[in-house]
Amino acid sequence: MKFLVSIILTALLSFALCLFMPWWSIAIAAFAVAALIPQKPGKSFVTAFIALFFLWGGLSFWISNSNHHLLAHKVSQLILKMDNPMLLVLATAIIGALVAGLAALAGSFVRK
Amino acid sequence: MRVVPFIIASAVTVALITTLNTRLTIGGTKAPAFGNFLSPQHGFWQNAEPANTDFSANLNFPSLNGKVEVYFDDRLVPHIFAEQENDAYFVQGYLHAKFRLWQMELQTFAAGGRISEILGDKGLEHDREFRRLGMVYAAEIALKESEKDPVLKAECDAYTAGVNAWINSLTESSLPIEYKLIGYKPEPWTNLKSMLFLKYMSYDLSARDEDFEMTNAKSFFNADDFSKLFPLIQDSLDPIIPKGTAFAAQKVFPVPPLKADSVYFNNHDLAIAESFKPDRDNGSNNWAVSGNKTKSGSPILCNDPHLGLNLPSLWYEIQISTPAFNAYGVSFPGAPGVIIGFNDSCAFGVTNGGRDVRDYYEIKFKDDSRSEYLFNGSYHATRFRIDTIKIKGKADYIDSVAYVQLGNNWCPVMFDKSYSGGRNTNNKYYAVRWKAHDPSEELKYFNLINRAKNYDDYNAAAVYFHTPGQNCVFACKNGDIAIRTQGEWPAKWKGQGDFVMPGTDSSFLWQGMIPQDEVPYQYNPERGFVSSANQKPVDDVTYPYYLGRNYPEYRGITINRRLNAMTGITPQDMMALQTDNFDIGAAMAKPFIVANIKEADLNASEKKYFDIFKNWNCRNDVGTQGATIFEVFWNNFDTVVYADEYAKAPKLIMHPFFSTLLEEVLKDTAYKFLDDITTPQKETLADDITKAFKKAAIELQEIDGAGNLDWEKHKATRINHLAKLAPFSRLNLPIGGGNRNINATKTDHGPSWRMVISLTPQTEAYGVYPGGQSGNPGSKYYDNFVDEWVAGKYYTLWMMTANDKNDKRIIAKMNFSK
């Protein structure tokens, strides 16, 4: 239960903070949720990782899909040197997930 | 709290965030800061515009005086309906910024010599060159002149306020993607920036000169050879204003200095040359045919300006409707008004005049401090302009440029001991006298032509166009057609400014301007059409002023021949003419190539290419191989003919034009330069042609082997993104044409807007440009016109009226009010 609630809270808080703050506010969200809802460090990491993986992956996929992946085709060639929109979505998801996961790990050490 | 793990985890998190917040250098290029760039709520994903975006909005700005409604049609062309004229310019500025901000700013940074701020020190050479040419100086003068006029001042202020209204609404996430990629932010717009943009167009269109190359050519060759290599006129010339036209009586009489021969024409010093040059083929076609040649009985006006092809496009299509006027056409993101287009009464367009309005004077300073310069026998105090060039990631570069007064004009000493650009300057000082430094208000032309109702209005508007001088074409619903070879042109004595001139006294200065009533024009000529294609404006024999050389003549010949022969013309005929790929230069050359080549000397492979060439119809259409063969052959022919004479020439030197070699050989099969001076025997035309074809065949085999013998593959037309990012560009477009074709589409240069306007009671208008209305590479409107343009197709231009507000073409509506 904690696990699921943490995932949802981390994702929601990240989304809300990013409306007003820089992208790295996802770390604040993950840190805060991990600190407030105690879980084992490893579990905290996985929680936030999953939350941001789906938040950033989902958002970017949703945006790209309604753009018919027009821009993702171009930017993947620019950044990844290959024409692969889904890889760009994956890269986005993993970067968000890693940052949030590590921040949650730090947050989890606040309690114990 | 578990302190140690906490600290480690926190440190790793912060380190990762810091890394993702840094622009890393990957494979030699700076990558964007990935955290921000990939964040779906901040970065580039925000630029991925949903395919079904609704552009509708209700917006309030206190600086507006009335209501403005903007209707976007299905090509995203805005139709602006404003109660107050200046509100329309506000909205135009707002829309330019909304759809094209990055390009607008980049162009003004380039114009003002500020590229280093974005790109770092690789922009420094460009920035110094542009500042030393006095681009900012010119823009400041133009701004002062324009703001003297309360109408223009209000227009520019409104436009600028509109641009800034958009800039102020930007957030991190709504920045154009290029800012996110390169990592910088837009700054506020100013009226000066609009002037800088217009001076950039002046640079593009009127800063093309070969004074240094010509100076070196004059020094290297003897007078007889020089005149054969660089003739003033070609036999084929068909000027804009036809031969035999009578001109107004001459009022300015430029006199060559007494010492012109000794210190100028016969001076054999070598000079330097420029490293930056606008494209030589920045030109255009325009013509208007009168009603007695059209099927409808109404005039048709056509224009296609040939410029560098880029994305986002130079042009932005727009309709502006105010109580005072209703104009439709293309505008420049960066400036108010419609540049080329039509209104309810008439249509208007321009091609480049291309005369030499930039000359150089060698200045003698008293000493290296440059603080005093010699002029008319005494020393005068220099003015210095100190330019601080900001460089991204480096310390500022301070450049001091001396300005000297030549006659009434303060001119920048562009080249001095501190600025050689890696070239051999011989430690000399050269000041530049450029017409674009003079006060003028070109925006006034656009302001007036947008509301012109008749020929008188057109004439009254045209005289405001000073620099870059343009062939202004006009047609009116009342049946009038006209063209003016418009500009404020220096009245030069023969040969003045062809070479670098002495700058130590007033005798070599420009002695006056050609009066506006002596600007050659045509009004309802008997032949039933007017046309221009950058050829020499008038016949030298009868026109009293010196016009220089180096005008491309062949497109004009084809256009005039075709228009002469045509009757019952429809807009569709005009589209076919604008997209015509006939190469008249090739048609003139082919017979003597075929007649003279020693066919027996060709081997099987050479013969194969020769047979293709022989059967070629001299058209640069898609799929033709003869065009490729002709081009490769001609380059080799040129080398075979001239390389021996040029072997010991300085590196920077003028080269004869295609037309010179072609027409000299047509005139004289024993053309002096055909002989290879390095061999004992005397080579003939047949020898040179055969040798050149054999050399060409080797190149052609390679091209053929790569599968690129078809003309469009060899030419590989592309439309580059302004930052040359390949995924944002359109490459290898299957389009014909070439620089001697009416369809002057070259590799990255060509018809940047094609327009055909039939001035029937209900105007029939067609147009297309190779781009799209949005500058966002993530929008489906970014390049959606390109394929139509490639195919030679046109869109119907919709002059919307207030009654069309429920038309099904409308996809969005914006309301602007206080």
Q: What is the pLDDT of residues B514-560, one digit of tens each?
A: 999 999 999 999 999 999 999 999 987 889 999 998 898 899 999 99
With cut-offs at 50, 70 and 90, classify the pLDDT of residue B268.
confident
Distance from CA of B97 to the nearest CA of A (A): 20
Judged by a CB distance cut-off of 8 A, whether residue B40 touches chain A is: yes
Q: Which amino acid is at B615?
A: N
- Helix or strand (DSSP H, E) at B249: none
Predicted confidence at residue B434, as pLDDT, reads 96
**Structure confidence at residue B272 as a pLDDT band (50, 70, 90):** low
Contact status of B20 with chain A (Cβ, < 8 Å):
yes
pLDDT tens digits, one per residue of B181-226: 999 999 999 999 999 999 999 998 887 778 888 888 998 999 999 9
| Partner A contacted by B780 (CB < 8 A) | yes
CB-CB under 8 Å, B16 with A102 = yes
- What stretch of H or E contains B411? strand B409-415
Q: Do A109 and B39 touch (CB under 8 A)?
A: no
Query: What H or E segment, with its residue span, contains residue A87?
Result: helix A85-111
Residue A80: list chain B partners with CB under 8 A: none
User: Nearest C-alpha of chain A: how many angstroms from B36?
Assistant: 6
Contact yes or no for B778 and A68 at CB 8 A: no
What domain range is A97 assigned to? 2-111
Among B13, B48, B181, select the one facing A72 at the smallest CB separation: B48
Shortest alpha-carbon distance between residue A1 and chain B (Å):
24
- CB atoms B727 and A22 under 8 Å: no
Q: Which of A71, A96, A98 sits opposite B47 (nearest CB)?
A: A71
The answer, for B727 touching chain A at a CB cutoff of 8 Å, is yes
Q: Report d(CA B299, CA A110) in Å as an integer.
A: 82
Instruction: Give the pLDDT confidence score for residue A111 in this predicted structure.
Output: 74
Residue B420: pLDDT band with limits 50, 70, 90: low
The predicted pLDDT at position B795 comes to: 98
Q: Which of B1, B40, B777 sits opposite A63 (nearest CB)?
A: B40
> CA B639, CA B659: separation in Å to the nearest integer?
15
Closest chain A residue to the Cα of B778, Cα to Cα: A71
Q: Quote the pLDDT of residue B541.
A: 81
Provide the pLDDT confidence category of residue B419 given band limits of 50, 70 and 90.
Answer: confident
pLDDT at B721 over 60: yes
Chain B residues lying within 8 Å of A19, measured CB to CB? 41
Closest alpha carbon within chain B to A14: B41
- B332 vs B50, B96, B189, B198, CA distance in Å? 26, 8, 15, 9
Pairwise CA distance, residues B422 & B429, whole Å: 15
Please give the average per-residue pLDDT across B343-362, as a whole number: 94
Q: Two tokens at A36?
A: 């407030």
Helices and strands (H, E) in chain B, number of each type: 22, 31
Q: CA of A95, closest CA in chain B: separation in Å? A: 7
- Nearest chain A alpha carbon to B12: A102
Residues 6+ apart with CB under 8 A from B436: B138, B199, B202, B203, B206, B207, B357, B358, B467, B468
Question: Which of A27, A60, A78 faces B45 most closely, judged by CB atoms?
Answer: A60
- Which of A14, A20, A23, A24 is the mutation pick for testing B, counting most B CBs within 10 A? A23
Domain ranges, ordered by start, for chain B: 584-715
Token code pair at residue B232: 């003033």
Residue B720's φ and ψ, nearest 5 degrees, are -80, 140
In sequence order, what are the beta bridge partners of B304?
Answer: B285
The label of the residue with tokens 């920035």 reads B127
Distance of alpha carbon B151 from alpha carbon B132, whole angstroms: 32
- CA distances B496 to B360, B452, B453, B721, B787, Å, are 11, 37, 39, 39, 46
| Residue B708 touches chain A, beta carbons under 8 Å | no
Q: What is the pLDDT of residue B788?
A: 98
Residue B35 distance to chain A (closest CA, Å): 7
The pLDDT value given to residue B445: 97
Q: What is the mean pLDDT of residues B127-156?
A: 96
Distance CA B350, CA B352 (A): 7
Residue B566 above 60 pLDDT?
A: yes
Name the interface residues of A facing B (CB cutoff 8 Å): 15, 18-19, 22-24, 27, 31, 41, 56, 59-60, 63-64, 66-68, 70-75, 77-79, 91-92, 95-96, 98-99, 102-103, 105-106, 109-112
The number of CA neighbours under 13 Å toward the Cβ of B810 is: 18
Closest CA to B673 of B195, B221, B176: B221
Tell me what the mean pLDDT of segment B713-740 comes to: 96
Chain A closest CA to B30's CA: distance in Å? 11
Q: B795 by DSSP, 3-state: which?
A: strand
Mean pLDDT across B556-567: 96
Is pLDDT of A112 > 60? no
The answer to whether A110 contacts B6, with C-beta atoms less than 8 Å apart, is yes
All residues of chain B having their beta carbon less than 8 Å from the beta carbon of residue A74 are 727-728, 777-778
The DSSP call for residue B31 is: P
Residue-level pLDDT at B28: 75
Q: Are B774 and B99 in contact (CB under 8 A)?
A: yes
Cβ–Cβ < 8 Å for B153, B147: yes
Contact call for B52 and A66, based on CB within 8 A: yes
pLDDT computed for residue B651 by the predictor: 78
Residues of chain A neighbouring B51 (CB-CB closer than 8 A): 66-68, 70
Domain count across chain A: 1
| Cα angle: B376, vertex B380, B382; to 5 degrees | 130
| B643 and A CB contact within 8 Å | no
> b/e string for B626-639 if b means 16 or more Cβ within 10 A?
bbbbbbbbbebbbe
d(CA B696, CA B687): 14
Instruction: Decide if B731 touches A, using CB distance below 8 A.
Output: no
Which is it for the CA torsion B465, B466, B472, B475, positive or negative? positive
**By the CB < 8 Å criterion, does B777 face chain A?**
yes
B134 DSSP β-pair partners: none
What is B361-376 written as a DSSP string? EEE-BSSTT--EEEET
ipTM over 0.95: yes
Burial readout B718-746 (b: 16 or more C-beta within 10 A, e: otherwise): bbbbbbebebbbbeebbbbbbbbbbbbbb
pLDDT at B283: 77
Query: Which one of A19, A70, A105 has the shortest CB-CB distance to B41?
Result: A19
| Residue B48 to residue A92, Cβ atoms within 8 A | no
CA dihedral B237, B240, B243, B248 (to 10 degrees): -140
B432, B419 Cβ separation under 8 angstroms: no
What residues in B contact A111, CB-CB < 8 Å? Answer: 1
B473 vs B521: CA distance, rounded Å: 10
Residue B381 tokens, joined: 């105090």
Does 1.10.1400.10 match the CATH number of domain B584-715?
A: yes
> Max Cα separation, chain A?
47
Q: Is the pLDDT of residue B425 over 80?
A: no
Give the Å distances, CA to CA, from B391 to B61, B115, B121, B189, B422.
36, 8, 6, 21, 20
CA distance readout (Å), B335 to B90, B188, B532:
11, 15, 25
**For residue range B621-678, what is the model confidence (pLDDT) as tens digits?**
999 999 999 999 999 999 999 999 999 888 788 999 999 999 999 999 999 999 999 9
- Please say whether the beta carbons of B617 and B584 come within 8 A: no
Which helix (H) or strand (E) element contains residue B293? none
Q: Look over chain B and give the mean of its residue pLDDT values, rounded to a whole number.
A: 94
Distance CA B329, CA A66 (A): 32
Residues in chain B: 818
Per-residue pLDDT, B449: 98
B369 phi and psi angles, rounded to 5 deg: -70, -15
